[in-house]
Amino acid sequence: MTTSDLIGELVTRFNGWSRDGDHGVLRYLNAAHGQLMAMEAEQNLIVDTTTGDLPLIATTAGTFIYTMPSNVWRVTGVLIRTDTPGSPILGDYGLYNQNIMQRPLRTSMKNSRSIGGRFYAKYAYARCKDYLNSSQLATVMFTRDPETKPDFYYRQSYRRPTDILSETIQPDIPPPYDFEILLPAAAKLIEGVQSGNYMEAYEYVKKVFKPALWKELNAGDQGEYDAEPVDRGF
């Protein structure tokens, strides 16, 4: 269904509600969509389409904070490749040392991960903040000087749900789940507004509709890199 179709269904159901505006169903369709799609899942993982690898963070010596592109919702880790020629030797906590021989980080260790057939270790000396709004984008802050390294650090990051701010913007949720899950989730929020129990409705969307959606979206090869979708809030 198109956004216009979804809004038409909601306006028909909720007599007296407009299509847009403060008392419009579009506002709550967008809220439901944002809650449903904010997930650390393979479908939302951002990759460099020219290389198939995770995006790089090009660092400069003495610069500790890096602002992410506007499409980034969350960065879950700064990573270092461990499976390429010249990869650094890493200790158990992601500290690399090119001069002292240390045990390579094994895939069984907590901060080692395989993504898309490539192997990485999490770099321990970086902290990440989520996207808040268009003025406060997601950031990565290094707690040690990252030095000037244009092709050393990678980011494991997830895209923001599309903001449905008009009827011409289509949801990220594919059919038939736009009708089966997004539509009733938006209706639940509107019912919450009408009854004065919006937060209860919001929690219901998060705990009932969201797991149902991702059970479907993560089925089969859609969840290929062996990581279950993770919901840490939105």
Is the whole-model pTM more than 0.85? no
**β-sheet with 118-122: strand ranges across:** 56-59, 149-159, 72-81, 118-122, 112-115
Residue position matching structure tokens 């701010």 = 165
Structure tokens at 109: 């260790």
State the pLDDT at residue 157: 97
Domain boundaries, the chain: 3-38+162-219, 43-159
pLDDT per residue, tens digit, the chain (234 aa), is 999 999 999 999 999 999 999 889 999 999 999 999 999 998 899 999 999 999 999 999 999 999 999 999 999 999 999 876 666 555 544 445 554 444 444 444 467 788 888 889 889 899 999 999 999 999 999 999 999 999 999 999 999 999 999 999 999 999 999 999 999 999 999 999 999 999 999 999 999 999 999 999 987 555 444 455 666 655
Structure tokens at 112: 């080692």
CB-based contact 37:172 (threshold 8 Å): yes
